[in-house]
Amino acid sequence: MDGIARVFHVGIGQEFSKITSACDSAQKFDTVFIHAGLYKEGKIKIEKALVIIGEDGAVVSGANEVEVIEVFADSTIIQGIEVRDVGVSNLEDMAAIRISEADYVTIRDCRIIRAFFGIYLAKSHHGNIINNWVEGEAHDEYNSGNAIHLWYCNNAFIKGNTVLNHRDGIYLEFVENSVIRDNHSEGNLRYGLHFMFSNRDEYNNNTFIDNGAGVAVMFSKFIEMCYNRFEQNWGPASYGLLLKEIYDANVELNIFHGNTTGIHAEGATRIWFEYNEFRENGWALNVGGSCMNNKIIHNNFVSNTFDIVGNSRKQDVGFENNFWSDYSGYDIDHNGIGDIPHRPVKLFNYIINLVPEAIVLLRSPFVDLLSIAEKVSPVFTPDNIVDHKPSINKFDVRVN
């Protein structure tokens, strides 16, 4: 009957043996239900709004030759299928599921295994990418793609996904007014999450662990970064969070644990860092001389090799009321604020910037003598990187 959505079954012994045939026969807003089995049909094109649901064991394969599913229709839903073995090409970005100029598309509860690109949205707005598992086998950057890739998309909602072993876990380019929440990004070669030329976005409650670097936010503005975990991102050029040419952003209530560098900032302007915890990193915070008008307040700096490092004698950054585990002052009036200021930049930081090989002297008595001499008479370290009201007590920074 017209106006009533129908269900088209695909599988052995069902009405249709091929997904493509069922999609061709279905009308707008009908459902195509894919039963358990292995389907190899080349590229499947969705050109009308359909609900495509796979039961457990429904696997669609690209046979290592082709892109698997491409969606051109607004309001399409793809749920519960497994897509694997996508083709690899140096000429085009082949994806397990590609959304091309289609709005309000939902991809949820899918498994994507051995894909060049996993889920790829191009010029598609209001997309929902929810609770998917996207696992690749990337070995080098030049011939690998991204797990979730958005290009010229607005109002996207990316939630609850696990993205593993790609070039970038989640990549956003020219993406605005979007939310990235509750995702787990691990083992990606370059970045767990990568922003380029993207504005007014937020990412929160995500975990970035053991990536080439956790997150990179580049050439973007008005980004909210809250309640995330940046952990064990190690390497010679690895950061928990890289900020490059970014303006007017908030970095709040995040945990940076066990990274080579917690945050590395270049050209970062008007950034508010508050209630973050930097724990057991190599360098907790590296702020370049090109950074301007930033505020660092109520953060915990705990057991880092170096808390702060900068490449300029003058730094346009304000420190106030942070907790420093190596603070050696006192609080006679018991108001919770140290009675003498704390200078977090050590002279040895300055020396390492000039001569990186000097790091081999890190645990030597010579370094302790340098630190004592610089505290008595600061000459080389930035004279305005000082916390005049260091907190005696740690702040309660909790991230799920």
Q: What is the DSSP string of 22-60?
A: HHHHPPTT-EEEEPSEEE--S-EEE-S--EEEE-TTEEE
Residue 313 CB coordination number (10 Å): 14
Q: How far is CA 45 from CA 14, 30, 72, 139, 355, in A?
A: 21, 15, 8, 30, 57
9-25 b/e (C-beta count within 10 Å ≥ 16 → b): ebbeeeebeebbebbee
Interval 304-313: pLDDT, tens: 988 988 655 5
Q: Quote the pLDDT of residue 314.
A: 54
Q: Quote the pLDDT of residue 347.
A: 63
Instruction: State both tokens at 85.
Output: 């073995």
Q: Quote the pLDDT of residue 1.
A: 45
Return the SS3 of 344: coil
Q: Quote the pLDDT of residue 60.
A: 98
What percent of the chain lies above the pLDDT cut of 90? Answer: 76
Candidates 349, 344, 351; CA nearest to 326 is 344
Count the residues in the chain: 400
Instruction: State both tokens at 268.
Output: 């970062």
Instruction: State both tokens at 384.
Output: 């305005």
Q: Quote the pLDDT of residue 309.
A: 81
Place of tokens 């939310």: 179
Burial class (CB in 10 A: 0-12, 13-18, 19+), 393: exposed
Q: Quote the pLDDT of residue 68.
A: 97
Q: Quote the pLDDT of residue 2.
A: 57
Q: Quote the pLDDT of residue 313.
A: 52
Q: How far is CA 252 from CA 225, 227, 244, 391, 397, in A?
A: 6, 7, 18, 18, 10
Phi then psi dihedrals of residue 230, to 5 deg: -120, 105
Give the chain's domains with CATH numbers.
39-49+56-376 (2.160.20.10)
What is the C-alpha to C-alpha distance for residues 43 and 19, in angstroms, rounded to an integer? 11
Bridge partners, residue 181, by sequence: 159, 204
H helix or E strand, kind and range, residue 176 = strand 168-176
With a cut of 50, which residues of the chain have pLDDT below it?
A: 1
Place of tokens 């696992």: 135
Q: How far is CA 167 from CA 80, 84, 133, 220, 338, in A?
A: 25, 17, 16, 21, 45
What is the C-alpha to C-alpha distance for residues 214 and 260, in angstroms, rounded to an integer? 11
Candidates 76, 80, 78, 71; CA nearest to 29 is 76
What is the C-alpha to C-alpha distance for residues 168 and 74, in angstroms, rounded to an integer? 27
Interval 82-136: pLDDT, tens: 999 999 887 889 999 999 999 999 999 999 999 999 999 999 999 999 999 999 9
Q: Quote the pLDDT of residue 142.
A: 75
Q: What is the DSSP string of 101-145?
A: S--S-EEES-EEES-SEEEEEES--S-EEES-EEE----SGGG--
- Please name the residue ranges forming H helices in the chain: 19-25, 347-354, 365-376
